[in-house]
Homo-oligomer: A and B are copies of this chain.
Amino acid sequence: MRILGIDPGSRAAGYGLIEATGNRLDFIACGVIRVTPGFSFGARLQEIHSGIVEVLARHRPQQAAIEEVFMAKNANSALKLGHARGVLMLAVMQAEVALAEYSPRQIKQAATGYGNADKEQVQHMVRVVLSLSKAPSQDAADALAVAICHANHHRFAQGLTGAKPPIPTKGSVR
């Protein structure tokens, strides 16, 4: 199963793709969608959307997962992040790829075994788990951690029921 992990951001959105085969996780690709600083906010949203549409078309994941966002101390940044996350979610839905959401804590827990892990620990463990020769950039590592988190939840769900877990699709109730 190919999984796309997304680390939403309004200036840079990370993406990471892994292939989960049984208990094995293989690295496929990762990167960062960056926006053009001088562009209007609307044009930057368009860049983020086009960027992830391209990633979806090139790598054709079967499942996707995105980090949940909460209100940070800076309410205005959180609101901008909401806009960016909206267009990222839209692209996944338009590609008809099932989308799951995980909290930052769940993602850190899955990647490092510790829910309060810092960015560097996540970056380090993603590199170890996926046997990468060098650490990916922070945004890309966060996105790969989201994909790893989803792979773990998926495996756990499979183990529990012995069958394929229900995959949320368009029209399902969350």
Which of A43, A71, A86 has most chain B Cβ within 10 Å? A86
B-facing residues in A55-91 (Cβ within 8 Å) = 69-71, 75-76, 78-87, 89-90
Residues of B within 8 A of A174 (CB): 40-41
Closest to A75 in B: B71
Contact across chains for B40 and A170 when beta carbons are under 8 A apart: yes
Closest to A39 in B: B171
Residues of B within 8 A of A38 (CB): 171, 173
How many subunits of this chain does the assembly comprise?
Answer: 2
Of the A-B pairs whose beta carbons lie under 8 Å apart in the complex, a sample of 5, sorted by A's number, is A39-B171, A42-B99, A45-B86, A71-B75, A85-B86
Closest 9 CB pairs of A and B: A82-B82, A83-B86, A86-B86, A71-B75, A46-B93, A79-B82, A42-B93, A40-B174, A43-B170
How distant is A93 from chain B, measured CB to nearest CB, in Å?
4
B-facing residues in A94-138 (Cβ within 8 Å) = 94, 99
* Bound CA span A99–B49, Å: 17
B-facing residues in A13-39 (Cβ within 8 Å) = 36, 38-39
